[in-house]
Structure formats: C-alpha cells, structure tokens
Amino acid sequence: MSTGEMERLRKTPPRKCDPDLRKTCQSLNKCGVGQYPYATGSDLKERYMQLSDGRWVLKTKTYFSRNSPVLLLGKCYHFKYEDENKMLPARSGCTIEDHVIAGNVEEFRKDFISRIWLTYREEFPQIEASAFTTDCGWGCTLRTGQMLLAQGLILHFLGRAWTWPDALHVENSDSDSWTSNTVKKFTASFEASLSGERELRTPAVSLKETTGKHSDDHAVRNEIYHRKIISWFGDSPVAVFGLHRLIEFGKKSGKKAGDWYGPAVVAHILRKAVEEARHPDLQGITIYVAQDCTVYNSDVIDKQTDSVTSGDGRDKAVIILVPVRLGGERTNTDYLEFVKGVLSLEYCVGIIGGKPKQSYYFAGFQDDSLIYMDPHYCQSFVDVSIKDFPLETFHCPSPKKMSFRKMDPSCTIGFYCRNIQDFERVSEEITKMLSISSKEKYPLFTFVNGHSRDFDFTSTAASEEDLFSEDEKKKFKRFSTEEFVLL
C-alpha cells in the first residue's frame, strides 16, 4: 500500500461492516496491529500484508529457479528433471560445480518438510518465575537453536538420508498464519469467503497409522526416534531441550524469560543442555562451542573421549558450534561463497542466524538466496507426552528464501561429527574451505592443534551450583552486545 493510498484511507469516512468483523478489527487495534477500526475485507488484507515484517507474519509462496541447483544441508536438487520425467536418486555432498545434480521437486519438498520445525507456541505451562505461557515476540533465537540441535540429533539417530514417510501429506496452505488463535480463525474464514478455499486444518497422523504403512522393523525404529526427538523439544519443564529447560540454563548467565537471546549465547545454552541431559539415548553425544572463532582440536577430542560414555568405549559424537560475525554492521558479501560451501556439506546441521529483528534457521540456498525455516509462527501448545501426539505442526510445509545481503552478520554455524575420525576429516575439509574463501584476509574461524589452555584461554570448571564458569559469564556479557533486537 503506497503512502498516498494510506493517506486516502485515513481520510475516508468509516464504512459499515459486519459487527463480528468490526469486533475483530478493534481487537487487533488493541494489540497495535491495525489502525483502522472500520475497514472492509480488502482493506484489511492489504493492510496486514504490509505488516508481515514483524511479529505478525504472512506465509507467502517461495519461487525457485529451474535453472539453478538447490542445496539443502548437503543434498543437491535440480528441478528441471521433473519436466523430463527423470527420477534420479539424490546424493549427499555434491558440489555446486557438478554437472549432473539429482532430485526433483517432490524429493526436495519431502527432504525439506522432514526437517524438524520449532516455532513460537502459546498456552504452554507457565515458565517458572515468570508469567509467560508463550514465547511469542522474544523466543525466536531459542527456537532456531532448537532446530539446529534437532537436525544434529536426526543425523545422529537417523542419518542424513532419512525422510519422514508422511512429509508430503502435510498440508501446504497459502492462507495467512497469525500469532493469535482468534486472528488465525478469523483469517481462515475470511480467506474462505474471498476465494472459496477451505479452512485451515491439521490432519492427525498417529504412530499406529504411520508404522502400519511400513512392514520392516527399520522404518518402525526410525519413526520411534522421530517422535522421540520431537518430544525432547516439547514445551514443558520436563523436556530435556524444551524452552523451559533452555531458559533455566540461560538464568545461569543472567538471562531470563522475555529477554533477547543472541546466536552465540544460544550456542552455549545448547551446550549446557546437552551436557546436563540424563536420557540414556543422549549419553553418546556432546556439544563443543568454539572460543573466539577458534576450534581447539584437542579440546574437541577430549569431549569425544569423555569417560561418561554409554559404557561401550566408543567415541562420543560431537556437534561443533562456531559463533561468528560475517562482517561489521552489515554482512560482507565476500563470505557468501563460504556460507554456501558450508551448507553444501552433508555434516552441516545449519546456521542460527537471521536478519535484523528476526532469527531464522538457515538450511540451504539457491544462487545468492538462503533457504530457511521461520520460527515466527505462533502455534498452539502440543502435549508431546501423550501417545501418538500430532506431528504436523513440527514440520514446515513450505521453504522460504532470503537474499544473503539481508542476513545479519551475527550467526552460529553447526557441524556434526560421529566420532574422532569423522572430526579429523571435517576439520581438514573445512580448513581447506576457509583458506580458499579467506584469500589474503583472516579466515572466518580456525582449527588449531592443542588445547585452549595452551594459548592462555584457561577456564574454571563449573560446579554443580554454578553451571557456567566466570569466564563463560564474561563471554555472555560480551556476546550480549551482538544480539539481535528481536520482535
């Protein structure tokens, strides 16, 4: 809506409209969303599309080129094969320069939808020492951190080749999605009245129905782990990686519910959450957070050979998180090729990042646009403790794209390594990528042989009463200056 049209609308005398519609408009005005208590349906739709840049967001279609490859966490897809009726198996780790790139639209959609999507929720159990029963407006970086960790757990338990068998059954609605149940219901009925579309609905697919489709034990095991991973991120105090638990760890660093969390702070909170998890299935995985853009190889290996293992003597898997800045006030486009290279790796678990005022989970790219999942959709609380809880709201039906130039420079990059040998390979490969991308400049981050203590980066061990050391608290204070201003 142009400035002239907005001014004309302000001067237009109030028009008669349906009482229920007027009531809804007035309710929205109290929330600070609308300015026109008496507007027609077309005015409302046009107006709220203008407000998609904040807490109130709008789902829109995302367009992909058929002439360029799409990369999603190490897998390549090219949509032109769909027209040629060629169904080639997607393979991991292909490079941008490969001439034959596998996949089609449906395979890409299935792969993308299979990633775990964690968004704002409302009406969940109250967060301790606060009045919050929703994280709408402040929890998006915690949610993108959860998505990154969830992808790491998928690689750990299910592997990169896994996809959810029911992914393509998730309804891909083009209707608007709002951060209030009232507004969502109003929007659905409003859209239906305008275009004849059916209202939004969420078909439930139970575990019994899902496992009944697959006769082999491997598929049943995969579905059990799929549900288990999602349940670990449930919005309740008992969920090991749920919002309530992450906020508790954040308190040790001076954070509380309702505060802004930056991607570097979230990296350390995720590390503590994994270290403190007592679930038997989680004893074989840990998290390492790089210090001042440096990964100390011996420190990583020490964490992988920690004596607190599952008892079989195997190395622990590790998720390496590297908080970085891709420039000063704005993202430096010189880093674009490196970011694309990272998202082309099969062991990449994504990037916690976003743009100013919003945090996104970046999982892929096409050309110079990043593909991401957006946590800024407020959905109703789902009790993951009940048997056969619905899965659909934990899977995003449609990807979104954003120009790399719009990316906020502050972000955290994640990698998964199954064992020490895997880590050594990963560090070698990424070091080569960094040396190529940095040219004559300093690399974005480095892998260094030895321990951090060998370079005077000593830290005091955290006690049970104080989960973060004094050095870690100092880092949190420094990171706080780099945080997003989230809506």
Residues acting as catalytic residues: 140, 374, 376
Phi, psi torsion values for 372, nearest 5 degrees: -145, 165
